[in-house]
Amino acid sequence: MMLLIERGGLIMILIFALSVIAAAIIIERLLFFRKIKTDESTIIARLRSTLEKQHFEEALSICENNPSPVTNLMKVGIENRNRSDEVIKNAITDAANMEIPRMERYLSSLGTIAHISPLLGLLGTVTGNISAFGVLGGFEAAGGNPALLAQGISEALLTTAAGISVSIPAIIFYNYLVNKVNHSIIRLENRVSLMVQMLKDMKTAPPRERPAPRPAEVSSR
């Protein structure tokens, strides 16, 4: 790897650095979406059970200890539960709009890397060919070294291949992650409607009482 970077020159170093950044972004985003998908169903079930009993402080504690797009929306709704339905809906909608940039974090950088990597490869091709033709032009006059000519051509080919190799997976994962964001946004919109309705129902519904413990049977003997 280091030999290829050395042979590719400065452009290859830049492409390698971009590949590391792209890999870090992809891994971070995949872990992010995996975590919120794994935790979401369990947390929502806990919140629903807690809210049905109108234990609002406990529900807020669950949201604070398990931060995610859905719990952040639920927290806003619970905090505004005593306000009008319109205020609750607007507050949750505003919170949902704030969650979207968090889900899209680093995706613009990944898209930029996907687009500029092949361009850097082409730039390396140009500089490599300039070097190669420079050697070829003075080949006879200076008794040129064929190794220098081969090095220039090698740099041109390596940077092109490297740029495309970085760009292809970056584009694939960029499109995949954008699709994940779009699905998450749709899911958030559905959650907004459900949460608004749930909070409406809780305003009129009495809290669930826990069943009284059964008295122990006393033996008459």
Sign of the alpha-carbon dihedral angle for 33, 35, 40, 41: positive
Query: What are the structure tokens assigned to 198, written together?
Result: 């749930």
At residue 135, the pLDDT reads 61
Write the CB contacts of 65 (distance below 8 Å, at least 6 apart in sequence): none
More confident residue, 97 or 131: 97
**Considering the chain, what percentage of its residues have pLDDT values greater than 90?**
25
Alpha helices in 53-145 (DSSP H): 56-65, 69-79, 85-103, 107-137
Helix (H) / strand (E) element for 4: namely: helix 2-52
149: exposed, middle or buried (Cβ count in 10 Å: 0-12, 13-18, 19+)? middle
Please give the Cα distance from 44 to 65 (Å, whole number).
Answer: 13
| Res 216 pLDDT > 60 | no
At residue 157, the pLDDT reads: 81
Contact 13, 19 (CB under 8 A): no
Residues 34-56: tens digit of each pLDDT: 887 766 777 878 888 887 788 88
Burial label, 141 (beta-carbon count in 10 A; 0-12, 13-18, 19+): exposed
Averaged over 93-113, what is the pLDDT?
Answer: 90
Using pLDDT thresholds of 50, 70 and 90, give the confidence band for residue 116: very high
If you search the block for the tokens 């009495």, which residue do you land on? 206
pLDDT band at 205 (very low <50, low <70, confident <90, very high): low
**pLDDT bucket at 9, cuts 50 / 70 / 90:** confident
CB 58 within 8 A of CB 207: no
Closest Cα to residue 79, out of 39, 103, 102, 51? 51
**How many Cβ atoms from other residues are within 10 Å of residue 206's Cβ?**
7
Q: Is the pLDDT of residue 218 over 60?
A: no
Dist. CA 42–CA 31, nearest whole Å: 18
pLDDT higher than threshold 70 for residue 217: no
Degrees to nearest 5, angle at CA 96 with 91 and 23: 155
Would you say residue 196 has pLDDT above 80? no
Q: Which two three-digit tokens encode residue 162? A: 């490297």
Please give the residue that has the higher pLDDT: either 135 or 82. Answer: 82
What is the pTM assigned to this prediction?
0.74
